[in-house]
Structures are given as structure tokens and as C-alpha cells.
Structure 1
Amino acid sequence: MKFGLIGNGAIATYVRHGLEQRGHQLGALLLRPERVAEPDAEQSVPRVAAISDLPADLDLMIDCAGHVALRDHGPGLLRSGRDLVTVSIGAMADQQVADELLQAAGEGGATLHLASGAIGGLDVLRAANAGTLTSVRYVGRKPPKGWVGSRAEDLLDLAAITDRPETHFTGSARQAALAYPKNANVAAAVALAGIGFDRTQVELIADPGVSANIHEVQATGDFGRFDIRIAGQALPGNPRSSALAAMSVISTVEQIVSPMRF
């Protein structure tokens, strides 16, 4: 398969190398205009700033560049008939963005594939949602430094949190995804797999007692009760990028091309 990547940060680099090791070929990088001309030790593929400049023979596009990139490029790619994998699930909390992406996919006869990101167990939520899900709650814990650069900095003195956990957000998954665009993709994934953005409850915590990013999901319904806890590690060299999020993109692509799917 020949694929294109949106972005060239830590997750995109991991995905690129992982897919190339599995025999797939990178055909292009879609980047912000100011990054197209930046020096690159791996200048073996076209680097473009516009969808119209992408090679015509790409089988799939993969978004690893965040909410803004999905909003800016997603509709055009889908409308052009290209399938798209994204890990920027939180962007779907903006109903206008979600509607535009789905409409563009319908117009182009393309599919938007949502990578699960840094969480697991979404298959259980999807299955349980075929019955009646009564409640779904997501709790995200990170070390205080893991919230640097987010809205939490405006609410807490992160450097002073050394003794006990401090909650800096409680609300719906929609509110969390919109307020924390770089930190709440997991909340969005849980919401989309289960009872939706407005009914899924979220709590975000700065916890000096943890060294990993902790994701906890609790769900109840007529299926019974579901509890999952994941302690996720970051990608080497980038403490803000989840290793499992990058791995989930590779797994999604492998599912797309496989003759057998879970």
C-alpha cells in the first residue's frame, strides 16, 4: 500500500517507520506551508502544502497532526475520494467539523477511519452500546508536568502539586475535548464508542503520584459492568506523545488492508 501522512512530528515519524517496516510505502507528506521547505534528513518523498499537489496514486491518507489539520484537510481529502485515518478524534466534538467530515466522506465515497488512540476496550463499549448503556465515565490522570501547555495551567499551579492529586476538569466529553484539544482525544474516543459526547462524563486530574498517563473507563448497562485501566508510556524522546496512540494508527491501517478483521 502507498500512503500519505499529514504531519511529521513524533507520532507521524513512528507511524511512518512502523508502516515502512511492514512493507508499505510512504508517497507524500502533507505539511503546513512553512514546514515544506524545512531541512529534512529523509527527503525521499514529496512534501506538499496542498491537497491538489498530492500524488494521484496514494491508497490512503493518515492524519497525525492534530485537530486543526483534520479540520483543514479532512473534508477536502474525503471529498476527493481518499480514505483517511485519523488519531485526532477530539476534533469530532465540534459538531460542525463532524458534520462536514461525514458529508465530505459521503460526497467522495470515502471512509473516515478513527484510530483508537491511547485507550483500549472500545470494542467492548461498542458491543455494549448495542444494548443499553446506562453510564460511561472516563478519568484521565497525568503527572502535573503532563498537563503543561493545556488549560490546566490556567486553573492550577502545576509546579506546586507535589502532595496530592488535583482535579482540574469535570464535565462532559464534549466539553473536555473542546477545552483540551491536545489532551482529550481519549475522552472523545470513549464517547464515540459509547453513549456520545454529551452523556459521557469526564474527570481530568494532575496527580503527582503517577509517572505514566493513566486512563480509566467505567461503564454500566444491561450487559453488566466494565472497568479498564491503562498506564500508557510516551514515545521515546517526546513526553507529550502517547506510544499507544501511534501504535493504534499502525494497527488501524493493518486492519484496513487485512483480509480478516476484528
Structure 2
Amino acid sequence: MKKVMLIGYGAMAQAVIERLPANVAIGWIVARESHHQAILARFHGEVTPLVDPLACDATPDLVLECASQQAVAQYGEAVLKRGWHLAVISTGALADSELEQRLLNAGGKLTLLAGAVAGIDGLSAAKEGGLQRVTYQSRKSPASWRGSYAEQLIDLATVQEAQIFFEGSAREAARLFPANANVAATVALGGVGMDDTRVQLMVDPATKRNTHTLHVEGLFGEFHLELSGLPLASNPKTSTLAALSAVRACRELAQC
């Protein structure tokens, strides 16, 4: 039986718990202390709640971050220095170039999950042959952008038609929209980098889906990919596919 440590106990972590593959068990959950009693009751004491992953006195087979960019910054380096395997869904944390270097040099094993977008394997392959241009566009409903920096750029309550409200680099997008733009960071890290990946963020009052559009050009040719996914019912900022990406990491662990 493989044992996973979850960092986070929000909507994505709940989705992972509900879909956990056979031969994989949650051993520890890093969460706010206010959640600890609920965790103990839910798992009948078989899962240990923690406020810090380093309080674990065993070795998890996988540490799965399902929380936030802040959690990656707070715990990532220490987890990797323990020699543990860390899988990150909040890839936007690596928009901080200093943090990225610390994580890459910390030891252990760092896996960046594909999250809510497809085609990262093709993008990485194209990189081997010379990428020239990568553009990523995210189109989401007003509800998905509420509580974010988008509220300072556009009136989400009155928008009547699809509008682009942000254009810039993946680094800027990941920093300004930490809960919404992790896909932009994933695309950038798989392709031409944080500063050269162009990002457009769009609000569309006519949609209930999260649509990710990727256009890639290079010496290999070009490809255009569009993925239209549903957000988690419990959190419109989180893509169902992103949660399933974390589940897949657990399934791959079970097959090791």
C-alpha cells in the first residue's frame, strides 16, 4: 500500500480523496488546525492531520500539493530537502524565479502536474525542435474570476459579452492571478518560459466552462489545442481536470 501526504484540505483535495485509486491511502493531511478534528473523525484516526509536513516522522511515497502557490513556497523546499517526492499542482508558484531555483536544487523529486490543460507532452516535444511562439488563452465565467485581481480590471457583475481583461506574460499572470492562472505557468514551464509565453485572460458571461486555448508555432510546424472543461461544483476557480491530474499522480504511484 502506497501512502500519500496531502497538502491542503479544500475542494481539490476532497476530489482526490473521493477518487483515490486502489492500493493508495492517505496517510497525512497538512491543513489548518481548525480542520484537524474533522479529519480525525472522517478517517477514524487512520489519517494524521498536520500543520507542517516536516512534523511527519515517516516517509510518504508521495507528497501531493493541492493547496495554493503559497503552500508551495512555504513547504516545497523543505519537503524536497527531506528527499521526498513532491508533486505540485500550483505551478504558478514557480513564477518566482528564486523559488524555482531553490526547488530545483533542493534534492528529492519534483513533479509538475499537467493540471487543467492537455498537450504538455506535445509542447515539450516541440521545444526540442525549436519553439518560436506560444500563446495561451483562458476563458472563464464571471464566477470563476470573482475574488481575484480581475475585479480591479473589469466589472464582473455587469459584463455582457466575452472580453479579454488581461494580456501579458505567463509570469505576470501567475503572480497576479494565483488561484486562476496555474495553467499559464504549466504551459510556460513546458515551453518557451515564463517571460516569453503570451497569456490572454478572458471573462465570458455566456459560459459555465473553463476553456483553455493553446497555440504553438516553431520549426516543427504548429498546433492549436482547445480544451473546454467543467470546474468543480464546490469551487468554480478549480478545474475538474486539474483535480483529476492529481488523481492520476496517485494512480501512477500505485503502479510503481
Q: TM > 0.5 between the two?
A: yes
Query: How far apart are residue 248 of structure 1 and its match?
Result: 0.5
1:75-127 Cα deviation digits (max 9, x unpaired): 1111011111110100001112111211212xxxx111111010000000000
Partner of 1:84: 86
Aligned-partner residue type, residue 95 of structure 1: S
Aligned-partner residue type, residue 132 of structure 1: G
State the SS of the aligned residue for 1:117.
Answer: coil
Partner of 1:122: 120
- Larger mean CA deviation between 216-225 and 8-17 belongs to 8-17
User: Matches of 1:27 and 1:95 in 2, distance apart?
Assistant: 32
User: Matches of 1:232 and 1:213 in 2, distance apart?
Assistant: 5
User: Structure 1 pair 51/39, CA: closer, same or farther in 2 (3 Å)?
Assistant: closer
Unaligned runs of 5+ in 1: none
Query: How far apart are residue 209 of structure 1 and its match?
Result: 2.6
Partner of 1:173: 170
Partner of 2:190: 193
Report % sequence identity.
38
Partner of 1:137: 135
User: Matches of 2:32 and 2:98 in 1, distance apart?
Assistant: 23
User: Matches of 1:60 and 1:39 in 2, distance apart?
Assistant: 19
Task: Give the TM-score taking structure 2 as reference length.
Answer: 0.93
User: Are 1:258 and 2:255 an aligned pair?
Assistant: yes
1:215 aligned to which of 202, 212, 216: 212
User: Matches of 1:17 and 1:209 in 2, distance apart?
Assistant: 30
Partner of 1:30: 30
Unaligned runs of 5+ in 2: none
User: Matches of 1:77 and 1:235 in 2, distance apart?
Assistant: 28
User: Matches of 1:50 and 1:146 in 2, distance apart?
Assistant: 29
User: Are 1:147 and 2:160 an aligned pair?
Assistant: no
Partner of 1:75: 77
User: Matches of 2:240 and 2:131 in 1, distance apart?
Assistant: 30
Aligned-partner residue type, residue 198 of structure 2: Q
Query: How far apart are residue 34 of structure 1 and its match?
Result: 4.5
Aligned-partner residue type, residue 200 of structure 2: E
Runs of 4+ in 1 over 6 A off after TM superposition: none
Aligned-partner residue type, residue 7 of structure 1: G
Aligned-partner residue type, residue 123 of structure 1: D
User: Matches of 1:41 and 1:256 in 2, distance apart?
Assistant: 26
